[in-house]
Amino acid sequence: MVWDAIALHTSNGIASRKQPEIALVHLGASVDVLGIGLEALETSTVEEILENYPRLDFKQEFLDVLLSDIQQKQPQAIATTWMAEVGRTEIADYICPTFTDLFKNSPFSE
């Protein structure tokens, strides 16, 4: 279950249909990283959490980790994932095939 929760935490439409623990990891990551669903939480609860666990420049720190990870991998390893978008928008001259590139260049004659 832990493996599924980690593997599916960015999988919209899949994680929420799995066991409650897996859905919770997905929903928690969505709120924590992107703010999706934050409005559904009580303001006082959010304030208490942020007081006890400040974000500590989370946006920049997380982006730096992502960029470091992206630069260490071959572009094909992240093609068609959301990390490819991060690479294309944040790293100058970063080249990574898109789904369309891969599809149009597939080895089929038709």
pTM across the whole model: 0.80
| Other Cβ atoms closer than 10 A to 31 | 16
Angstrom distance (rounded) from CA 40 to CA 63: 25
Q: Encode burial over 36-53: b for 16+ CB neighbours within 10 A, e otherwise.
A: eeeeeeeeeeeeeeeeee
pLDDT in tens, the chain (110 residues): 999 999 999 988 999 999 999 999 999 999 999 999 999 999 999 999 999 999 999 999 999 999 999 999 988 889 989 999 999 999 999 999 999 999 999 999 98
Token pair 């999988």: residue = 11
- DSSP labels, 74-103: -HHHHTTSHHHHHHHHHSTT-----HHHHH
